[in-house]
Amino acid sequence: MYLITNQQDWPLLRAGVFPSGATVGFVPTMGALHDGHLTLIERSVRENDVTVCSIFVNPTQFNEASDLANYPRTLPSDMDLAEKGRCNVIFLPSVAEMYGTHVESIVADYGTLTNTLEGAHRPGHFDGMVTIVRKLLEAISPNRAYFGEKDFQQLSIIKELVNRENLPVEIVPCDLIRETSGLAMSSRNVRLGEQGRKTALTLSATLSAMRDGVLKDTPAALKAWGTNQIVAAGLRLDYLEIVDANTFEPIEKWENREMRILVAAWVEGVRLIDNADISPKA
Ligand code: PAF
């Protein structure tokens, strides 16, 4: 596995080491890799000749300084996991490498895609995320880029970015991966204590029960029930919403269209997100 830290090293490596015309799959991450990331790397390895994984804790997408400071950084084990997944190249740039001297975001206003849910609760988060994804796609110019559905809203915004800017890359959505307990895999889970992990299970359990309750109750009643479950378990809820999976507008009555339940809540000072597909086909 190659390790590069400068953007200009990638075209040199691509041309010098890999066969011309080799397809490139890209897995952008902020490190603290877990088995969810491993499935993205493995899928990229299966579908491309070369897989590049970036590890970059992007400062502009953190709307709270303490969240950035506490974000787990586990480079040695990240390298081991990427190697296990047979990743070919790790791109590990510095902040100066990606931003120069102006650590700033572009404004990404995609209407309800960017201003609801995560966008409403984490001001500036999606601006920073879109800024860095744009820069990374430009630096790596992959054929395909892999993103997990745990960050479902992020994934939709990235698809929209690629559409609007006509970027020559295929965005590949990958299933949300859960621990056997049901907890959605997240880099932030390492910050949970034993009790926090148990409390956090309320999120996946509530989503699963809500999925079973679709059509049996109105969307408003189902949302109220889920909200009660989460609050009663002691989590601090940012939002629990039943939305159209394409527009992120709230669902007021059940219809034959793609729908998701999305949730964000705090456990032991750790912010967790999760979601469930409740489309009629799901
Ligand atoms: O999902 C993440 O880990 C990050 O938001 C991403 C896409 C790597 C951009 O920093």
Q: Is residue 45 a contact partner of residue 85, using CB atoms and an 8 Å limit?
A: yes
φ, ψ of residue 67 to 5 degrees: the values are: -65, -40
2-174 and 187-277 agree in CATH topology = no
The one-digit pLDDT tens for each residue of the chain (282 residues) are 999 999 999 999 999 999 999 999 999 999 999 999 999 999 999 999 999 999 999 999 999 999 999 999 999 999 999 999 999 999 999 999 999 999 999 999 999 999 999 999 999 999 999 999 999 999 999 999 999 999 999 999 999 999 999 999 999 999 999 999 999 999 999 999 999 999 999 999 999 999 999 989 999 999 999 999 999 999 999 999 999 999 999 999 999 999 999 999 999 999 999 999 999 976
Q: Is 253 helix (H, G, I), strand (E, B) or coil?
A: coil
CATH architecture of 187-277: 2-Layer Sandwich (3.30)
Is any ligand 1 atom within 6 A of the Cβ of residue 132? yes
- Write down the domain spans for the chain: 2-174, 187-277
Stretch (H or E) spanning 51: strand 50-55
Cβ 97 under 6 angstroms from ligand 1: no
Q: How far is the CA of 55 from the centre of ligand 1 (A)?
A: 9
Q: Does this model's pTM top 0.75?
A: yes
Residues near 100 by beta carbon (within 8 Å), at least 6 away in sequence = none
Helical ranges in the chain per DSSP H: 9-17, 35-47, 65-70, 75-84, 95-99, 112-115, 118-121, 125-140, 152-164, 194-213, 219-232
Pseudo-torsion of CA 54, 72, 235, 63, nearest 10°?
-70
Cα 222 to ligand 1 centroid, rounded to whole Å: 31
Domain 2-174 class in CATH: alpha beta
Residue position matching structure tokens 């506490």: 70
Q: Is 31 near ligand 1, meaning CB less than 6 Å away?
A: no
Hey, what amino acid is at 101?
Answer: T
